[in-house]
Amino acid sequence: MNKNKTWQTKKLGEVCSIQTGKYDANHSKPNGKYRFYTCAFDYLYCDTNRFKGECIILPGNGANVGEVFYYNGEFDAYQRTYVLNEIKTNAKYLFYHLYGNWKTRNKDKQFGSATNYIRMANFTDYEIPVPPLEIQHAIVSKIEELFSELDQGLADLKTAQAQLKVYRQSVLNLLATNENLTPIEKIISKLDQGWSPKCENNASVDKTQWAVIKTSAVQKGYFVEIENKILPNNLIPKEQHEIEVGDILITRAGPRVRVGICCMVKHTRPKLINCDKVYRIKVNKELILPEYFEYIINTPKYQDIIEKMKSGISDSGLNLTQKVFVNITIPLPPIEEQHLIVQEIESRLSVADKMEESILESLQKAEALRQSILKKAFSGELI
């Protein structure tokens, strides 16, 4: 069915009431009876319920501006969270239209510098095609039928993705033997931490410009050079901390989930300085390959060992001290055997990487198909 004269274009305010919550984030209660929607992706709980029935919830500031949530029940909301209620159309019809369009329409219509936000005008200017109610019901029914099939396929892809993760861990765990255990301090030639002066907030893309890495440059098994901050021109770079190919980097301080992250620098631009929350290790290459060292530290066994060594009073700020780290013992086969081990691991992980690429490509196609379904739905081409 194509659009015809029975479809009307209406402003958002004509088909629903647009309100915000009135509470700050401290209003939440861990054991509250009702959902409490803030601008975070996940809802909390509280003991009040200003809203009820079918509603659409949209974050008003921060990273989640553009997200759209549907809920049918009693709940409350944060003061910068928008709530669409008293909906005069099929509520799911309105939800799916916003789900497919809200983020892109507001991408370049946000305000603020430190924290992005949207205003009531973002809502009052929003237009929606409104067919007769029976057609709305039919469109929603068809969308959900197609989405159900799509979601099953996505679930299968995500299961395969999880299985690949388990496979990678099992490959690395083959390294975690108890043969010829040697303390880390015996196989490294240098361990230091970098320098963290006050830098500019922007990342450097100019290879002739000095910059200091952020801890987020260190990811499990790979280095992200663009995760840096420009060193101000009035500061003299401490060149002794410049990162080089073959360096082992391991995060030593930060939130629990970000401490003990390890990678070998396989390639890097010049003039990147290590920060003081990251250990930089140069191994004795006559005893151990840096690639082998990285694989060992990233095995589930050694990640568990490191997890138990983290110290601090809060999960938001833990440390991995040099003293405990260098006393970890790792298996140290002859260097020739290490070469063979690294080759075998890289071969197996390469197969997994290709499968992962295929899965990611399929996930992207699935999301594109979801958007295509919504586009057809609201142009009258789906039913």
User: With bands split at pLDDT 50, 70 and 90, how would you rate the model's confidence at 169?
Assistant: confident
pLDDT given at position 246: 97
pLDDT band at 172 (very low <50, low <70, confident <90, very high): confident
Q: Please indicate, yes or no, if residue 292 is contained in any of the structural domains.
A: yes
Asked if residues 146 and 373 have their Cβ atoms less than 8 Å apart, the reply is yes
In the predicted structure, residue 362 carries a pLDDT above the cut 80:
yes
In a domain, 283, yes or no: yes
**Could you tell me if 61 and 150 lie in one domain?**
no
Task: State yes or no: pLDDT of 175 exceeds 90.
Answer: no
Reply yes or no on whether the pLDDT at 56 is more than 80: yes
| Residue span of the structural domain in which 381 resides | 133-176+334-383
- Are 322 and 185 members of one domain? yes
Instruction: Assess whether 184 and 323 both reside in one domain.
Output: yes
CATH number at residue 216: 3.90.220.20
Is there a domain that residue 137 lies in? yes
pLDDT at residue 4 in the model: 65
Q: What share of the chain is helix, strand, coil (3-state, %, to 5)?
A: 40, 25, 40
Q: Which of 309, 332, 355 is the last residue of a domain?
A: 332
Residue type at 340?
L
Co-location of 143 and 38 in the same domain: no
pLDDT at position 3 is: 64
Check whether 316 has a pLDDT greater than 80.
yes
Q: Is the domain of 139 the same as that of 218?
A: no
Q: What is the pLDDT of residues 86-131, one digit of tens each?
A: 999 999 999 999 999 999 999 999 999 888 999 999 999 999 999 9
Q: Are residues 311 and 226 in the same domain?
A: yes
For residue 175, the SS3 value is coil
Is 2's pLDDT higher than 80? no
Q: What is the pLDDT of residues 319-344, one digit of tens each?
A: 999 999 999 999 999 999 999 999 99
> Does the residue 3 lie in any domain?
no
Tell whether the model's pLDDT for residue 74 goes beyond 90.
yes
Same domain for 109 and 198? no
Reference 67, options 118, 113, 111, 29; nearest CA is 118
Local confidence band at 78 (pLDDT 50, 70, 90 cut-offs): very high
DSSP string computed for 138-153: HHHHHHHHHHHHHHHH
pLDDT, average across residues 10-36: 96
Query: What pLDDT digit, counting tens, does each position of 264-286 carry?
Result: 999 999 999 999 999 999 999 99
Residue 1 falls inside a structural domain? no
Phi, psi angle pair for 282, to nearest 5° = -115, 120
Look at the chain and report how many structural domains it folds into. Answer: 3
Measured in degrees and rounded to the nearest 5, phi and psi for residue 376 equal -65, -40
361 in the same domain as 243: no
Among 111, 131, 151, identify where a domain stops.
Answer: 131
Confidence (pLDDT) at 114? 82
Asked which of 131, 165, 188 is the last residue of a domain, the reply is: 131
**pLDDT exceeds cutoff 70 at 204:** yes
At residue 281, φ and ψ (nearest 5 deg) are -115, 135
In a domain, 47, yes or no: yes
Same domain, 184 and 172: no
For residues 349 and 316, state if they share a domain.
Answer: no
Q: Stretch 145-158: mean pLDDT, rounded?
A: 93
Q: Do residues 102 and 35 both lie within one domain?
A: yes
Which amino acid, residue 85?
N
Mean pLDDT, rounded, for 142-171: 91
Q: Are residues 216 and 319 in the same domain?
A: yes
Q: Has residue 40 been placed in a domain?
A: yes
- Answer yes or no: is 2 within a domain: no
- For residue 364, pLDDT over 60 is answered with yes
How many Å apart are CA 35 and CA 28, to the nearest integer?
Answer: 9
List the structure tokens of 156.
Answer: 């299968």
Checking if the pLDDT of 1 tops 60, the result is no
User: What pLDDT, on the 0 to 100 scale, is given for residue 220?
Assistant: 94
